[in-house]
Structure 1
């Protein structure tokens, strides 16, 4: 037993010089897995079907934000907007979201094509048309940034 004392003492001294650091993120089964946000796309990638994008226009000013199958239509007079649930389909290179809200049909069509908003020197990669009830709007679109 006297031979073990120097070994135990050496082991204790050796461990005394070590420091242990805790892992910054616990690695338990309860840790939720974070999914990447669906809003991001590669720069210049405007190919349908896009999960998140916006369509907009001037004369009159209008905006439709799209996330998945939900459209939010806003105007300067209604900045809170109207949220509408649509059905998504592609026809060739055109993305279409359509449905009915408050008894009025709506259709948003977005397709690749150079587009100018008519008020700035900005050129967008998408052209857009939006019909809601008896109103029709034309404008541009862009993938979410």
Structure 2
């Protein structure tokens, strides 16, 4: 009888599910690089729309976010972007921001005009050109979202 009870106890212990192995918590994923936002800060609702805006184009894809005289130039290969500081010049129907970054001259010109990005049915109220070094880009622009 003692042998039977001991055997039964061993069988019950053997049938118990073993606890799952301890798993180390996964390391948090690094934050994704994001291009700076082109939204107006609170209290900036009445600021000239060409103080905070974006210019962009396709073939090749490019973008420039503008805040005053600071430009952030982005491409699909560099979504974090390159930050540049320029000199602002008011034009009859827009603005030009020019300067130099890492020995390369840049000029962004944005003016009034109807523009299509060529990829969607969207139309924009600004026409943009951007020259960085020896590369010329053309595209559209829009004031920052409120």
The answer to whether TM tops 0.5 is yes
Displacement of 1:81 in angstroms is 0.5
- What CA deviation, in whole Å up to 9, does each residue of 1:53-93 have, x standing for no partner? 00000000000000011000000000110000010011211
1:144 matched to which residue of 2?
144
Matched, 1:65 2:65: yes
| Aligned twin of 2:8 | none
Residue 41 of structure 1: CA displacement?
Answer: 5.5
Residue 37 of structure 1: which of 35, 39, 43 is its match? 43
Aligned to 1:81: 81
Equivalent-residue separation in structure 1 for 2:72 and 2:135 (angstroms)? 16
For these two proteins, the number of residue pairs brought into alignment is 105
Structure 1: state its 5+ residue gaps: 1-34, 43-47
**Contact 1:57 1:139 (8 Å CA) reproduced:** yes
Q: Which runs of 5+ in 2 are unaligned?
A: 1-40
- Structure 1: distance between partners of 2:122 and 2:46: 20
* Corresponding residue for residue 25 of structure 1: none
Answer yes or no: is 1:53 the counterpart of 2:53.
yes
C-alpha contact (below 8 Å) 2:49/2:144 kept by paired residues: no
Structure 1 residues 49, 41: CA separation in 2 closer, same or farther (over 3 Å shift)? Answer: closer
> What TM-score results when the alignment is normalised by the length of structure 1?
0.68
Distance apart, 1:94 and its partner CA: 2.6
Matched, 1:135 2:141: no
TM-score, normalised to structure 2, is 0.68
Question: Following TM superposition, by how much is the alpha carbon of 1:134 offset from its aligned partner in structure 2, in angstroms?
Answer: 0.2
Deviation for aligned residue 1:51: 1.0
4+ runs of 1 displaced by more than 4 Å? none
